[in-house]
């Protein structure tokens, strides 16, 4: 019997997706869903949905839930992290304060001011979760779905020796989108991809052994097609490879598209295609609407859909439990198992990278990629440096490391001076201090004194 424990299950829509995937997997006929969340109301909704799905599918699964993770962790085989830490209370600060300084974000959950402060709120809770995992389920394989993905995996890998695999659908969804543009069944495309999460790259893309990138470049000249994903098509045209996140996300991860209002007007489009403040303006409503849809499904409204989706967790579990090999993309430390070799040769050793992995009854096996093209590796390298500084800040309670991370952020550094970046950081800390580690509210002199004494 398999036990899957979801931390942050109050994100009921995503917990529903994960449970539906497992219940739709023939090779996982029996098991336990253990749901954990600090919000008892949203946790109860997720529990009710789980019971509903089990009843409708007739599968031999049981469901348990608790606001105390220590109650649910023992016996866990697969621990899944989906936490959201004080996002609703701070999503406006994450967008509005940077905007005052000219930092125009679309999503703001991975890098930049929004991504940084999301990490500073999230990672302390993540470290506590991992400490409990080591105590209560030391044999569990850990999957992370929480953003910022690379930072969450990196910080976790520095505080525990349990295996952590970051799972993201961005590469899969990107290839599906490209297949649609090309008019080719996605199952007939072969590709290679690697990089850092949300800024990985489709390096090779073939159909029946023929390179289809020339065809993509032709399609990029068609305004009706280019407009559907303008920033990514422009990136491909100029840099030679298609990035693996939406135009809205991608526009925040480099210095090219959002550093001036005229560039935002030229390249950004509605929604996930680059709309300013799209996440801050809509996410609270989306969450409430998603919960209401689930409640209606439970009370006899539109039935909750039961169909296996594209998220990797159920496929990995099936492959391990039944020795049914499959391939997925994972976010892991840049170190080949059992050696000092890197998975991506020209990204830093130990940084979190996104690479293909094979899965079978013996586990998850990340595969070496080789080297990225130098210019793409350079763009990713800045992200790994940002990640390194933020992880150091959290683990060592080093305020300056967090400030320096924001100073090297590609978009922020393209817009603001060093003094402006520090002022923005201080303003965001003041606005969010109720939800942040105490060390971030220290004065510069207090922080310097503490760090100096620690390092001496």
Residue 218 lies in a domain: no
So what's the pLDDT on residue 454? 38
Range of the domain at 140: 2-98+113-166+299-309
- Contact (Cβ atoms closer than 8 angstroms) between residue 436 and residue 137: no
- C-alpha–C-alpha distance, residues 180 and 289, integer Å: 29
Asked if residue 263 belongs to a domain, the reply is no
CATH number at residue 136: 3.40.50.720
Tell me, yes or no, if 169 is annotated catalytic. yes
C-alpha gyration radius of the chain: 22
Cα–Cα nearest to 247, from 234, 261, 265: 234
Residue 398 lies in a domain: no
User: Does residue 288 belong to any structural domain of this protein?
Assistant: no
Global pTM value: 0.96
| Predicted pLDDT of residue 242 | 98
49-88 pLDDT, tens digit each: 999 999 999 999 999 999 999 999 999 999 999 999 999 9
> Which among 218, 219, 254, 222 is positioned nearest to 235, based on CA atoms?
254
Residue 404: is its pLDDT beyond 70?
yes
Note the pLDDT tens digit of each residue in 292-327.
Answer: 999 999 999 999 999 999 999 999 999 999 999 999
Domain count, the chain: 1
Chain centroid to Cα 417, Å, comes to 29
Domain assignment present for residue 286? The answer is no
**Over the stretch 3-62, which tens digit does the pLDDT of each residue have?**
999 999 999 899 999 999 999 999 999 999 999 999 999 999 999 999 999 999 999 999
Task: At 323, list the tokens.
Answer: 């020795």
Percent of residues, the chain, with pLDDT higher than 70: 96
- Domain contains 260: no
Q: Average pLDDT, whole number, for the chain?
A: 95
Q: 222-233: per-residue pLDDT in tens?
A: 999 999 999 999
Provide the pLDDT for residue 131: 98
**Could you say which of 86, 169, 336, 381 is catalytic?**
169
Is 120 contained in some domain? yes
pLDDT in tens, 167-214: 999 999 999 999 999 999 999 999 999 999 999 999 999 999 999 999
Our CA angle for 273, 143, 306, nearest 5°, is 70
């Amino acid at each position: 019997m398999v036990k899957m424990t979801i931390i942050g299950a109050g994100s009921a829509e995503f917990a529903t997706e994960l449970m539906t995937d497992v219940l739709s997997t023939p090779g996982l006929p029996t098991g336990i869903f253990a749901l954990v969340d600090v919000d008892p109301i949203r946790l109860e909704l997720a529990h009710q949905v789980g019971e509903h799905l089990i009843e409708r599918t007739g599968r031999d699964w049981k469901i348990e839930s608790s606001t105390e993770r220590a109650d649910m962790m023992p016996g866990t085989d697969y621990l899944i992290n989906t936490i959201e830490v004080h996002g609703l209370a701070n999503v406006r600060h994450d967008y509005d304060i940077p905007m005052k300084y000219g930092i125009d974000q679309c999503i703001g959950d991975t890098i930049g001011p929004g991504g940084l402060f999301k990490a500073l709120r999230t990672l302390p809770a993540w470290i506590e979760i991992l400490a409990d995992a080591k105590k209560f389920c030391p044999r569990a394989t850990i999957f992370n779905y929480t953003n910022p993905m690379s930072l969450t995996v990196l910080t976790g890998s520095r505080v525990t020796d349990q295996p952590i695999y970051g799972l993201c659908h961005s590469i899969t969804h990107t290839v599906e989108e490209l297949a649609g543009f090309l008019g080719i069944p996605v199952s007939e495309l072969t590709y290679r991809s690697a990089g850092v999460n949300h800024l990985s790259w489709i390096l090779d893309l073939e159909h029946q052994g023929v390179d289809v990138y020339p065809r993509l470049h032709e399609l990029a000249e068609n305004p009706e097609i280019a407009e559907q994903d303008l920033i990514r098509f422009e990136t491909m045209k100029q840099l030679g490879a298609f990035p693996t996140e939406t135009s809205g996300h991608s526009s925040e991860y480099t210095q090219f598209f959002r550093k001036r209002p005229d560039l935002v007007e030229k390249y950004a489009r509605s929604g996930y295609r680059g709309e300013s403040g799209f996440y801050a303006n809509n996410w609270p409503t989306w969450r409430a609407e998603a919960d209401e849809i689930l409640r209606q499904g439970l009370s006899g409204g539109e039935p909750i859909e039961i169909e296996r989706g594209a998220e990797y967790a159920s496929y990995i579990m099936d492959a391990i439990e039944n020795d049914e090999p499959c391939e997925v993309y994972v976010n892991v430390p840049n170190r080949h198992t059992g050696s000092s070799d890197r998975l991506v040769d020209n990204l830093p050793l130990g940084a979190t990278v996104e690479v293909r992995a094979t899965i079978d009854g013996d586990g998850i096996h990340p595969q070496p990629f080789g080297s990225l093209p130098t210019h793409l590796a350079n763009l990713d390298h800045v992200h790994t440096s940002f990640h390194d500084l933020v992880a150091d800040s959290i683990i060592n309670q080093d305020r300056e490391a967090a400030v320096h991370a924001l100073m090297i952020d590609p978009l922020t550094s393209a817009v603001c001076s060093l003094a402006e970046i520090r002022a923005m950081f201080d303003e965001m800390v003041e606005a969010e201090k109720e939800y942040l580690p105490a060390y971030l509210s220290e004065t510069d002199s207090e922080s310097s004194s503490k760090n100096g004494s620690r390092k001496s």
